Each structure stands twice: as C-alpha cells, then as structure tokens.
Amino acid sequence: MQFERGEVTTAVLVVPVAMLLIFVVVQAALVFHAQALVDAAAQDGAQAGLGESGTEAAAQSAARSVIGTSAGNLLSDVDISVQANSSRLSVTVRAAVKSLIPGYRPTVSSTAAGPREVFVPEYRR
C-alpha cells in the first residue's frame, strides 16, 4: 500500500487524454470519408454533365444522388454548384461534416471540371 501513491492522479490525467486522442482519430476518419464522398459526388456530377446531351440539371442531380445515397447523416449544409458554358462544365460540392468534438465544425469541398463534348460536323473540322 505504501507504493501506490499517485495512481489515481495518473489515471485522472491519462484517461481524458486517451479519450481525446480517440475522438481526434475518429473525427479524422469521418473527415477523410466525407472528403471521399464529396469527391465522388463532384466527379459523378461532372461526368453526367460533360456528355453531348448532358445538362447542368443532370450534373446537379447526379451529384445530389451520390450524396443522398452514400452520406447518411454525415454531411450537412450540402451546396452543389454547377457552372457551365458551351465548352466547359465545372461541378463544386461543399459540405459540413458531423463533428464529435465540441466547437469544431470541419468542412470539405471538391471541384471536378472538364471540356464538354460537342458534335463538330466533318466539314467544320
């Protein structure tokens, strides 16, 4: 019994630090997963809009579909913006990630862009 002094103090210090580290690791995993979902949504949206018959609405719908079917309640405040002209299309997806750490609200974003397919008749080439 004489050598057990300070054991409670050590446990009181180590347990909260260990719990904080666990929360940080889990939060990092959630952010990485959310980034992968947002990347996939932007890429699928761009792919849907880049075809010859692709539209901005199709691009936004495809991106929203990926978020809707894959994210569950991990993402909130999802913003999908599509910018297009006759030769280029860009899809940007931004979202806030669910947080386990009070006061910390991570966000993720991704942009996918490319040239639109355009039919050019033989005589114009």
pLDDT digits 0-9 by tens, 54-94:
899 999 999 999 999 999 999 999 999 999 998 899 999 99
Mean pLDDT across the chain, nearest whole number?
A: 90
% of the chain residues with pLDDT over 90? 67
Give residue limits of the domains in the chain.
7-117
One-letter amino acid of 85: N
Q: How far is CA 69 from CA 29, 41, 86, in A?
A: 19, 10, 30
The answer to whether 61 and 44 are in contact (CB under 8 A) is no
Whether residue 26 has pLDDT greater than 70: yes
Per CATH, which fold does 7-117 belong to? Answer: Pantoate--beta-alanine Ligase; Chain: A,domain 2 (3.30.1300)
Confidence of residue 7 (pLDDT cuts 50, 70, 90): low
Measured from the Cβ of residue 59, the count of other Cβ atoms closer than 10 Å reads 27
